[in-house]
């Protein structure tokens, strides 16, 4: 009988040279010298309006948790119950043996909520964009037309294609029309825009985009990850403009206002079938845990049955923005719970962020190259879970820090 023995001693290859990874260190040092390296803070409890970060109690103004659903009892209980019933994982990719009835239930209620025929849930909004966009075009005979301030996941998805590409100035409908005219002979035309732009908090004129798309025979693709749970009574930007049935591809996220995790492609039955068969990021990704799928379903049910979360979010947003402006801060072109405080120079944005964190307010500085050199800002994000006392404390901190730094 043959026998085998596994040696646990390290295998030494004579003459082998270690791989030179010094370029990694050099690249990191370049980032650090410019102050562009990431050093994520550590949360030591749930991501709530008041939370503990690196050992200090903070008021959270940097989360996408707009409706404070991450700790909603119905969402948490659904995740626990499904985990006990189905197990911790799904055991396969969705396309082979990882689709459970709870996944289909989440997609069914998602489509009902979005007022479309069908939806397909991805592992994240990022994977929805990078998986779907390349499947919608072929080569240079097709054209993708994209807003200049679209999210990085859209940019990555577009880069994966061989289609012709055009970029129009931010929310400039005259420029978009000219680009469509210049490319009217393209076989497939795909217009892509964010719904709510994540750096400035402004909204795409989706009604005008849809009209131009209809005129020129183009497909429309909107990434509404920051609009779901916020606009259109929570249904998103398509509902906000009353455009149901007029937007070809609606991309969403469970990871923001809905408080869970995952991406959404919503549209017609044809869209779902196409995405299921041609989006490699869906076909080749592990199925989401059943507890996540159950929490997704529960989060939408909460949003449908408890409209007070959305109304509180907008009450907090309106009050906070009005008070910041009255103090003398510049909040840019924000129309949503994403409220930037414009600082101009990157050094001032970093200083304001650091001072606010010392005061117990968690915010992030957005600096070059994420934005242009003269448009650095501190980005704040409102939550329905913030009390008026919380917001008053934040406003007092902004007043003190803004005066110390000469911003007001």
pLDDT at 12 over 80: no
Q: Are residues 286 and 246 in the same domain?
A: yes
Q: Taking all residues of the chain, what is their mean pLDDT, rounded to a whole number?
A: 94
Average pLDDT over residues 54-74: 97
pLDDT at 76: 98
Instruction: Please tell me which residue in 72, 114, 256, 309 is annotated as part of the active site.
Output: 256
User: Residue 11 domain-assigned?
Assistant: no
CATH number for 65: 3.90.1150.10
Query: Given a cut of 80, is residue 277 above it in pLDDT?
Result: yes
Q: How confident is the model at residue 2 (pLDDT cuts 50, 70, 90)?
A: very low
Residue 100 sits in a domain of what CATH number?
Answer: 3.40.640.10
5 falls within a domain: no
What pLDDT score does 36 carry?
78
pLDDT > 90: what percent of the chain?
Answer: 90
Q: Is the separation of the CB atoms in 111 and 117 below 8 Å?
A: yes
3-class secondary-structure state, position 147: strand
Q: Do 78 and 174 fall within a single domain?
A: yes
Same-domain pairing of 289 and 369: no
Verify that 102 and 162 share a domain, yes or no.
Answer: yes
pTM of the model: 0.92
Asked whether residue 323 falls in the same domain as residue 242, the answer is no
Q: What is the pLDDT of residue 9?
A: 52
Distance of alpha carbon 159 from alpha carbon 144, whole angstroms: 10
Say if residue 57 is in the same domain as residue 129.
no
| 12 lies in some domain | no
Predicted confidence band of residue 1 (pLDDT cuts 50, 70, 90): very low
**Domain limit, last residue, from 288, 305, 322:** 305
Average pLDDT rounded to a whole number, residues 275-290: 97
240 shares a domain with 102: yes
| pLDDT on residue 13 | 56
Residues 220 and 352 in one domain: no
Q: What is the pLDDT of residues 159-173, one digit of tens each?
A: 999 999 999 999 999
Residues 335, 277 share a domain: no
Domain boundary among 257, 279, 305: 305
Residue 19 domain flag: no
- Buried b / exposed e over 98-122, threshold 16 CB at 10 Å, is bbbebbeebbebbbebbebebbbbb
- Specify if 16 maps to a domain: no
Last residue of a domain, one of 305, 323, 351: 305
* Section 208-235 average pLDDT: 97
Domain count along the chain: 2
Residue 46 included in any domain: yes
Question: DSSP H helical segments within 265-338, as ranges?
Answer: 269-278, 280-283, 290-305, 308-327
H-helix segments, 135-264 = 152-159, 173-182, 206-216, 237-240
- CA neighbor of 224 nearest in space, from 125, 96, 77, 315: 125
pLDDT category at 16 given cuts 50, 70, 90 is low
User: 198 catalytic, yes or no?
Assistant: yes
Considering only 202-216, 234-248, 293-307, 364-378, which range has the smallest mean pLDDT? 364-378
If asked whether residues 162 and 191 sit together in one domain, one would say yes
Looking at residues 142-165, what average pLDDT do you find? 97
Residue 140: domain span: 73-305
The pLDDT score that the predictor gives to residue 18 is 81
Q: Catalytic one among 62, 198, 285, 334?
A: 198
Is there a catalytic annotation at residue 256? yes
Same domain, 261 and 372: no
Q: Catalytic pick from 226, 274, 297, 309?
A: 226
Q: Give 182-204 pLDDT, tens digit per residue.
A: 999 999 999 999 999 999 999 99
Is residue 42 scored above 60 in pLDDT? yes
Residue 25 is assigned to a structural domain of this protein: no
pLDDT at 3: 46
Helix intervals (H) in 133-279: 152-159, 173-182, 206-216, 237-240, 269-278
Out of 1-15, 113-127, 371-385, least confident range: 1-15
Same domain, 99 and 241: yes
User: Would 20 be classed as within a structural domain?
Assistant: no
| pLDDT over threshold 60, residue 145 | yes
More confident residue, 37 or 20: 20
């Amino acid at each position: 009988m043959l026998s085998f023995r596994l040696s646990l001693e390290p295998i030494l290859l004579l003459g082998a040279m270690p791989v030179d990874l010094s370029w990694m260190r050099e690249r990191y040092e370049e980032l650090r010298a410019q102050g562009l390296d990431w050093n994520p803070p550590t949360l030591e409890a749930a991501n709530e309006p008041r939370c503990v970060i690196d050992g200090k109690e903070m008021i959270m103004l940097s989360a996408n948790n707009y409706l404070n659903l991450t700790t909603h009892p119905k969402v948490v209980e659904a995740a626990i119950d499904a985990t006990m019933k189905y197990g911790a994982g799904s055991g396969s990719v969705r396309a082979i043996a990882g689709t459970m009835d709870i996944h289909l239930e989440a997609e069914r209620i998602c489509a009902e909520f979005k007022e479309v025929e069908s939806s397909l849930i991805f592992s994240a909004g990022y994977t929805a964009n990078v998986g779907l966009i390349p499947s919608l075009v072929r080569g240079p005979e097709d054209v993708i037309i994209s807003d200049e301030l679209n999210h990085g996941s859209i940019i990555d998805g577009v880069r994966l294609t061989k289609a012709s590409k055009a970029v129009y100035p931010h929310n400039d409908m005259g420029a978009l029309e000219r680009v469509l005219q210049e490319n009217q002979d393209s076989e497939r035309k795909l217009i892509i825009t964010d719904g709510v732009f994540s750096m400035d908090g402004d909204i795409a004129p989706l009604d005008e985009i849809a009209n131009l798309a209809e005129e020129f025979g183009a497909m429309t693709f909107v990434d509404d990850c920051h609009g779901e749970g916020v606009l259109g009574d929570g249904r998103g930007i398509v509902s906000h403009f009353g455009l149901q049935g007029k937007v070809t591809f609606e991309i969403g996220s469970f990871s923001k206002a809905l408080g869970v995790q995952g991406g959404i492609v919503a549209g017609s039955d044809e869209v779902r079938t196409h995405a299921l068969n041609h989006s490699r990021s869906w076909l080749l990704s592990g199925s989401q845990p059943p507890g996540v799928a159950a929490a997704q379903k529960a989060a939408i049910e909460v949003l449908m049955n408890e409209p007070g979360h959305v109304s509180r979010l907008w009450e907090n947003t309106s009050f906070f923005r009005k008070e910041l402006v009255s103090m003398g801060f510049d909040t840019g072109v924000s129309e949503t719970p994403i409220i930037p405080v414009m600082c101009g120079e990157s050094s001032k944005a970093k200083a304001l962020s650091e001072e606010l964190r010392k005061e117990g307010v968690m915010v992030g500085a957005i600096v070059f190259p994420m934005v242009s050199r003269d448009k650095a800002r501190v980005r704040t994000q409102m939550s329905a879970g913030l009390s008026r006392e919380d917001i008053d404390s934040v406003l007092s901190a902004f007043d003190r820090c803004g005066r110390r730094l000469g911003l007001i």
